Structure 1
Amino acid sequence: MTPTDPEDLADRTAFVTGGSQGIGREIARTLAREGANVAVAARSDAIHDVAAEIDDRGGDALAVRTDVTDEESVRSAIESTVEAFGGLDVLVNNAGIAGPTAPVEDVTVAEWEETMDVNVTGMFRTTKHAAEHLRESDAGRVVNISSISGKRPLENRTPYTASKMAVIGFTRTLAFELGDDGVTVNAVCPGATKGPRIEAVIEEQAAELGVSYEEAKRRVFTDDAALGELVEPDDVADMVAYLASDAADHITAQDVNVTAGSVWY
């Protein structure tokens, strides 16, 4: 699926956190396919593999080691991206962790703080250091990856759910803060998306509920989805590309669902 003109993002530069695997990897690949220069930002060495794959396909990518929990790392990565490509137009805040699966009384303060630091404060750090460059762009875009959990409760996942609800509040407020400079800010709320992270969450839910993997998957994630299935990573990436494109010029302060029909608000 190609939601935009293949050259719609040509000569624009995107910075994608958590770009080494899963949804982030697919977002980086999709934005590059749409013509953008892409900085693949993550802690993992796999950023080099993703960047090499993009380059091999005729795109232009930069691997930038980035730890969103470290402000100096974020500042340096943003600066390296601007130096390499001459500016910054699109920020995709995708980095995140699942956090613990446990009743609230069994969640440690350290687990809570780690989840918030990566999923919320990490997003603040990248946006703080990207904002001046996005304001200077003629087509500034911020796309924050929230979750279905930002819309509805998910049992035994209080840190993760609270963090993803915070992302929506951050998105709506930032849209008004940056709007005078023509920067749009939106959130994408994926449903349970195929990949290693959701597999680990399903396994933890199965253990907590005392049921099989398939039963936990059905009971927690697919039973209430209109399509009765998990979301594909490229579905999320295509929505990000659309929101980064000229076609979404007047879409801002929104939280857009890509959930196979499990949330409709």
Structure 2
Amino acid sequence: MNQRVMITAGGSGIGLAIAKAFADTGAKVHICDVSERALAEVAAKYPRISATHLDVTDEEAIRNWFDVAMGDLEGLDVLINNAGTKGPTGYVEDIKIDEWNACLRVCLDAQFLCARSAAPIMKRQQSGSIINISSNAGLFGYGLRTPYAAAKWAVIGFTKSLAVELGPYNVRANAVCPGTVEGARVGEVARAEAASRGISIDSVQQEYVQGQSIKRFVQPEEVADMCLFLASPASKMVTGQAIAVDGHTETFHI
């Protein structure tokens, strides 16, 4: 599609699946990631994907990333705010304010910083698509993960507000809400929850899928497919939406 695409946390997991999917369409893709190791692996395996090492909570680093990327891409068709962290796991009375703030800085503040840099570029072009990765935790209450759930709910409100602001410029904003996605992150989440509840990791993971109509984990590529759609002309009147890719979550557990 010859699109120009920027993706946060594109070095592994969902972000890498998204980066590969866009690169396979012929898009020019520029990612960032906090992991130098992940970026080195991307450079070795996917030389078509440009990359910058940075922490998405660093305001100046985000500005510099956009400057570097614009020199490479000469415009921006798609921004995908994918960076996130699982945050602390525990009952609300046991969560420290520093843990709360750290989770929101990565899951929410970083999306604001990137959208703030992308909006003027897309408005000048009179085109563009901002895709914010939320979660089905942004659609349901999530016990033991209150900072994460709060951030992901806020992402949806932020996305809908962006859609209002940017619509007159033919720029769209949507949120994608993945369910339990196969990969290293779900293992970390399940281990932390199992420890907090005093049950086995297998029991936690079984609960995740039992609450879904389609009872399996989401594949990273399935999230990437939704991003491709939301960046394509096929979705040109889709904006301000929070779209789940989760096999239909019927109930959430604690």
**Aligned with residue 39 of structure 2, among 39, 42, 47:** 47
The TM-score with structure 2 as length reference comes to 0.95
Q: Kindly state the Cα deviation for residue 52 of structure 1 after the two structures are TM-superposed.
A: 4.2
Superposed CA deviations along residues 59-98 of structure 1, whole A, max 9, x for unmatched, are: x321112221111100000111110121111100000000
Counterparts of 1:43 and 1:228 in 2: how far apart (Å)? 32
**Aligned with residue 249 of structure 1, among 205, 227, 236:** 236
* 2:224 counterpart of 1:233: no
**Alpha-carbon contact 1:148-1:189 (below 8 Å) kept:** yes
Q: Kindly state the Cα deviation for residue 14 of structure 1 after the two structures are TM-superposed.
A: 0.5
**Residue 183 to residue 51, structure 1, CA distance change in 2 (3 Å):** farther
Greater alpha carbon shift after TM alignment, 74-83 vs 205-214: 205-214
**Aligned with residue 224 of structure 1, among 208, 211, 229:** 211
Superposed CA deviations along residues 123-178 of structure 1, whole A, max 9, x for unmatched, are: 10011111111223353010000000000011100000000000000000000101
Counterparts of 1:135 and 1:14 in 2: how far apart (Å)? 16
Q: How many residues align?
A: 250
Partner residue in 2 for 1:203: 191
Q: Give the aligned residue type for 2:99.
A: E
Show structure 1 runs of 4+ deviating over 6 A.
Answer: none
Mark the runs of 5 or more structure 2 residues left unpaired by the alignment: none
Q: SS of the counterpart of 2:211?
A: coil
**Alpha-carbon contact 1:40-1:51 (below 8 Å) kept:** no
* 2:26 counterpart of 1:35: yes
Q: Kindly state the Cα deviation for residue 233 of structure 1 after the two structures are TM-superposed.
A: 0.4
Partner residue in 2 for 1:96: 84
**Alpha-carbon contact 1:89-1:133 (below 8 Å) kept:** no
Q: Give the aligned residue type for 1:50.
A: V
Partner residue in 1 for 2:9: 18
Q: SS of the counterpart of 2:230?
A: helix
**Aligned with residue 174 of structure 1, among 149, 156, 162:** 162
Q: SS of the counterpart of 1:117?
A: helix
- Once the two structures are aligned, what percentage of the paired residues are identical? 38
1:62-81 alignment to 2 at 5 Å? 62-81=50-69
Counterparts of 1:164 and 1:67 in 2: how far apart (Å)? 19
**Alpha-carbon contact 1:52-1:61 (below 8 Å) kept:** no
Q: Kindly state the Cα deviation for residue 236 of structure 1 after the two structures are TM-superposed.
A: 0.3
Q: SS of the counterpart of 1:144?
A: strand
**Residue 52 to residue 88, structure 1, CA distance change in 2 (3 Å):** farther
**Alpha-carbon contact 1:190-1:236 (below 8 Å) kept:** yes
Q: SS of the counterpart of 2:100?
A: helix
Q: Give the aligned residue type for 2:243.
A: V
Q: Kindly state the Cα deviation for residue 242 of structure 1 after the two structures are TM-superposed.
A: 0.7
**CA RMSD after TM alignment:** 1.3
The TM-score with structure 1 as length reference comes to 0.91
**Alpha-carbon contact 2:22-2:29 (below 8 Å) kept:** yes
**Alpha-carbon contact 2:89-2:192 (below 8 Å) kept:** yes
